[in-house]
A and B are shown apart, each in its own frame.
Chain A
């Protein structure tokens, strides 16, 4: 559980917010503070004021899998295998365990054929999948994903969603511009100008957004 109290950081102003377990989709216009909130929850930065606690600990004390909005910029190694293995190797896991875990994660995400490829030769979507595999490999307690789906096609997105459902991570915080995908989350958090405008089950939140383009297109045609 993520507990936010009296948070002020850049444009973010969140007096109190509790994010329970499960999958939370963070949505809102460009520049509304989604990335800032995700970076704080991932422990990439400390808040200027207020606090964020994950199960009573600071985010920097929690094992967090994070995929940023620029996967190109966060790659450390030149070979796909080494990139996915990085967090396991940093924790000195035995070689056979690293090997097995990297292969299993890559297979789940459908990128096993890319393991020996140099990262620079991958497409934008493939780099995102590699970054996601690297975040998942070390069995994080919390997964923070910043628009990982913006470079993925429909079929790949579905595979990623299945992987996330089965990965056993208790808390997933994930921001997206795909409202059809957000509608499948356990909870939707709508940010605007740094403030939480709505938070609740997808049905409740999207009912309030019916007059806007944030209403899921698939609901527009199905309902």
Chain B
């Protein structure tokens, strides 16, 4: 199962996206500054944008879902329970898992943005598509919610997961790292080797690398463990 981009380009006014590469099974992290083209790439991988040139080739992928950056853009129903049913899922289990069991009859737009994000992630991850695209899945979540989302992402056994984010405090363990800058996608390779090539690493990781630590992965636990090893 993979998703291949060959010399893909999209132009929107002064902005141009250029990318090539293969997204295989596993967890990919696409990191990059504001306006670098992460969301445009997410739409492209989801098949919601057609490239001006180049090709996007999917093989062995029979289902794909994209979680949008702003969770309110997903809302289609007037209650939280109906919203879950609209994904073809049973509300009881999903809402219990998302810590929203007592909000079933509320208007989804009365939830806080973090709660709405939790609802959206719970639904989309439960659908377990072959290709799961998550645009800023951690934004607005509190640290407990971010950890929960990381565990759910790490627990996916099959399929391709691509996370587009500039999150700097709570990150899941990943397989492959990519960076976006001014519309250009650069592969940094697989972890752990990719970590020292990460130009815009989060502050805790940047600090550990400066100290000479060699973490096995990018999660805070891995970084603390690597620091313990060198500090003794």
Name A's B-contacting residues (CB within 8 A). Answer: 28-31, 35, 69-70, 72-73, 113, 117, 121-126, 129, 147, 150-157, 177-180, 212-214, 217-218, 220-222
Contact = CB atoms under 8 A, between A and B. Distances in A.
A147 B113 contact: yes
Contacts of B32: 153
B112 to A, nearest CB: 5
8 contacts: A31-B112, A121-B12, A124-B34, A125-B33, A177-B146, A179-B143, A221-B227, A222-B207
Size bin of chain B's contact surface:
35 or more
What are the 10 closest A-B residue pairs judged by CB atoms, nearest first?
A125-B34, A30-B114, A213-B143, A153-B166, A150-B139, A153-B33, A123-B35, A217-B204, A29-B142, A30-B142
Given A220-B220, A221-B223, A126 B34 contact: yes
Interface string B84-111: 0000000000000000000000000001
Contacts of A218: 203-204, 207
A122 B14 CA distance: 12
Contact of A213 (B38, B140, B144): B144
Given A30-B145, A180-B168, A151 B139 contact: yes
A178 B140 contact: no
B168 A178 contact: yes
A126 B39 CA distance: 12
Interface in B197-232: 200, 202-204, 207-208, 220, 223-224, 227
A30 B208 contact: no
A220 B12 CA distance: 42
A152 to B, nearest CB: 6
B141 interface: yes
Contact of B144 (A29, A151, A156, A178): A29
B60 interface: no
Contacts of B145: 30
A152 B34 contact: yes
Interface of B: 12-14, 32-35, 38-39, 69-70, 72, 111-115, 118, 136, 139-147, 166, 168-170, 200, 202-204, 207-208, 220, 223-224, 227
Contact of B224 (A151, A177, A214, A221): A221
Given A30-B112, A151-B34, A213-B143, A124 B70 contact: yes
A45 B16 CA distance: 42
B169 A217 contact: yes
Contacts of A31: 111-112, 114-115
B70 A70 contact: yes
